């Protein structure tokens, strides 16, 4: 058996794995981010999003799409959220949605990564994220659920999020690097 077949066979034998169409459950999922402000870190999340996972018989042939409502940004500070929705940052009036579409899922050593196209504002860029399958379980209503953690970093300026304010001390008010993490719980559809 080739190395590729060995890897595929071991992935396909993940306890609970089931091919099919899985829909992200927003009530049990989270899309969050961390960005630097001055010398601290600000955490935030997006409250509204949808997503689907098309799980293939060979998990490495699966695909994912996520749509995030940009205006649903929540940092626990209304003034900051209004600024993040403005033309200085996400321009949510013009670009209401952030989107991720996978192009490949692959092994990287003992881990998984997911490659895809991330669209923010008017820019789509290829990126790679760490993918961690957390497990599968049947809920109280008999629905099969899957859990995944996806994490990656972006440079916001790569997506035309160019707000820049230099302080008198020479540092920047807002950092360029943004760390994004998705905690996804999805439900297998039976239709």
* Tens digit of each residue's pLDDT (9 = 90 or more) over 20-72: 999 999 999 999 999 877 667 889 999 999 999 999 999 999 999 999 999 99
Q: How confident is the model at residue 191 (pLDDT cuts 50, 70, 90)?
A: confident
Identify the helix (H) or strand (E) that includes residue 5: helix 3-12
pLDDT at 165: 54
Looking only at the bridges linking them, the beta strands covering 49-55 and 174-188 are unpaired
- CA–CA separation, 16 and 65 (whole Å): 22
Rounded percentage of the chain residues whose pLDDT exceeds 70: 86
DSSP for 43-80? EEEES-EEEEEEE-SSGGG-EEEEEEEGGGEE-S-HHH
Q: Regarding predicted confidence, which is higher, 38 or 132?
A: 132
Inter-residue contact 62 to 53 (CB < 8 Å) = yes
pLDDT at 7: 46
Q: How far is CA 131 from CA 84, 102, 107, in A?
A: 27, 12, 10
* Both structure tokens of 135: 């497990």
Q: Mean pLDDT in the chain?
A: 88
Closest CA to 114 of 182, 185, 68: 182
Inter-residue contact 155 to 176 (CB < 8 Å) = yes
Across residues 140-167, what is the average pLDDT?
88
| Residue appearing with tokens 């459950």 | 25
Please determine, for residue 169, whether its predicted confidence score (pLDDT) is greater than 80.
no
pLDDT at 170: 52
Q: Regarding predicted confidence, which is higher, 51 or 170?
A: 51
The pLDDT tens digits of the residues spanning 119-131 come to 999 999 999 999 9
- CA–CA separation, 46 and 148 (whole Å): 17
Across residues 166-175, what is the average pLDDT?
57
Q: How much is the pTM? A: 0.86
Partners of 179 in the β-ladder: 34, 153
Q: Regarding predicted confidence, which is higher, 78 or 171?
A: 78
pLDDT at 2: 44
Across residues 107-126, what is the average pLDDT?
94
Report the range of poorest mean pLDDT among 9-18, 45-54, 70-79, 90-99: 9-18
Identify the helix (H) or strand (E) that includes residue 81: helix 78-85
Q: How confident is the model at residue 13 (pLDDT cuts 50, 70, 90)?
A: low
Question: Does the structural domain 3-188 have CATH classification 3.40.630.40?
Answer: no
């Amino acid at each position: 058996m080739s190395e590729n077949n060995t890897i595929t066979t071991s992935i396909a034998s993940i306890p609970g794995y089931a091919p099919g169409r899985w829909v992200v459950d927003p009530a049990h999922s989270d899309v969050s981010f961390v960005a630097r402000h001055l010398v601290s870190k600000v955490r935030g999340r997006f409250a509204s999003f949808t997503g689907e996972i098309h799980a293939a018989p060979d998990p490495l042939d699966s695909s994912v799409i996520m749509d995030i409502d940009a205006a649903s940004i929540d940092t626990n500070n209304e003034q900051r959220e209004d600024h993040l929705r403005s033309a200085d940052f996400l321009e949510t009036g013009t670009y209401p949605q952030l989107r991720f579409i996978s192009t490949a899922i692959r092994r990287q050593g003992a881990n998984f990564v997911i490659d895809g196209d991330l669209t923010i504002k008017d820019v789509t860029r290829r990126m790679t994220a760490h993918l961690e399958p957390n497990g599968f379980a049947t809920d109280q209503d008999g629905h099969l659920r899957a859990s995944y953690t996806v994490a990656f970093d972006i440079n916001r300026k790569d997506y035309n999020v160019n707000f820049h304010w230099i302080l008198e001390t020479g540092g920047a008010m807002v950092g360029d690097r943004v760390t994004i993490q998705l905690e996804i719980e999805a439900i297998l559809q039976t239709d």
